[in-house]
Amino acid sequence: MSAQSISVIKLSGELEIGRRAEIRAALHVGGGEKAFLIDFSEVTYADSTAVAELVRFHAEAAAAGVPVAVVIGNRQFARLLQYAGLGDAFAIFDSRAAALTFLSGKTA
């Protein structure tokens, strides 16, 4: 799979309840996507709203058979997923390059 066939969704800043509609609109499977790279590398804070929307999106993508990789740069957000018991539910990476390599191998 080439990088051009991977849909990239990038969110930044604080992902909290006040941005729920924006997060939900961004994390959407429209149909026809081959893979998703969710880039949270510039997220400075995330609460349970972001986790809930990520879980919803992941289920939607899995139902469509579309692989997802998540890039998380903020340790607080990564810990939040671990504490919620979701650390193994997602393909989480520290870098965009590693996530792209993973997705390229998923549909090669």
Distance of CA 37 to the CA centre of its chain: 6
- The CB density around residue 28, as the number of other CB atoms within 10 Å, is 15
Give me the residue spans of the domains in the chain. Answer: 3-106
Higher pLDDT among residues 26 and 104, named by residue: 26
- pLDDT number for residue 15: 94
What is the pLDDT at residue 4?
58
Residue given tokens 């993508």 in the structure block? 61
pLDDT digits (tens, 9 = 90+) for 60-102: 999 999 999 999 988 888 888 888 888 788 899 999 999 999 9
Q: What is the pLDDT of residues 40-52, one digit of tens each?
A: 999 999 999 999 9
Task: Give phi and psi for 42, each to the nearest 5.
Answer: -110, 20
* CB burial of residue 33 (10 Å; 0-12, 13-18, 19+): middle
Reduced to 3 states (helix: H, G, I; strand: E, B; else coil), residue 90 is coil
Question: CB–CB of 108/53 below 8 Å?
Answer: no
Question: What pTM value is reported for the model?
Answer: 0.88
Q: 65: which residues sit within 8 A by CB, 6+ positions away?
A: none
CATH code of domain 3-106? 3.30.750.24
